[in-house]
Amino acid sequence: MNLEVESRNIEMTPRWKTEIEERMAALQRGHDDIIHGRVTLTKNRHHKKLDNVAEALVLVTVPSRQTITSRKEDKTFEEAIRSAFDAVAIELRKFREKRADKAIRLEPLPQHRGVVSKVFRDLGYGFILMDGGGEVYFHKNALKGMTFTQMEDGVEVLFESEPGEKGLHATIVQPPHLLKLQD
């Protein structure tokens, strides 16, 4: 992770810099998703509220170039740093939870064998004769690892099917050699 620490209208103290580095390391601990971090401390000389003259801006960049930012003002830089990092930690936790919740949808491997029995090229669909008898409808969008132009009578395929309005229809149709590559 690349970390930039800077100050405006005030000189950065070693204590503030150390605290910033430690807090940034704590945000990263157990994860490796912070790409870039920047912290800017600013002393507001002409601030409306004379009590809060210390400002801390914490910015972290995470995968997909999303940015989490917190700007906090307080009476001291220590308090402003603490508040800004606490706010970023909350948002970072939410970001990580959201990413962890995304389930990866895996398509089932085709379980049935068959042979293409009819192809209606101009309509974009056809039928597969199943091993053991019966026909299954397939649409060109169900093809994986082959094109609709490759479909012709007698081509052996593996397929997955489910009940449809007019009987079984294939949800995945692929050539047998793809199954060997996925194992």
In sequence order, the 6+-apart residues with CB closer than 8 A to the CB of 135 are 117, 127, 128, 129
The pLDDT, as a whole number, for residue 101 is 67
Residue type, 48: K
The pLDDT, as a whole number, for residue 182 is 46
pLDDT band at 108 (very low <50, low <70, confident <90, very high): low
Condensed to tens digits (0 to 9), the pLDDT of residues 25-78 reads 999 988 888 989 999 999 987 655 566 789 999 999 988 778 999 999 999 999
User: 140, 105 in Cβ contact below 8 A?
Assistant: no
The pLDDT, as a whole number, for residue 48 is 59
Count of alpha carbons within 13 angstroms of residue 144, beta-carbon side: 19
Mean pLDDT to the nearest integer, 118-140: 92
pLDDT band at 104 (very low <50, low <70, confident <90, very high): low
The pLDDT, as a whole number, for residue 102 is 62
H-helix segments, 3-161: 14-28, 77-101
Whether this prediction's pTM lies above 0.75 is answered by: no
Domains and CATH numbers, the chain: 2-101 (3.30.160.100), 112-182 (2.40.50.140)
CA 162, chain centre distance (Å): 29
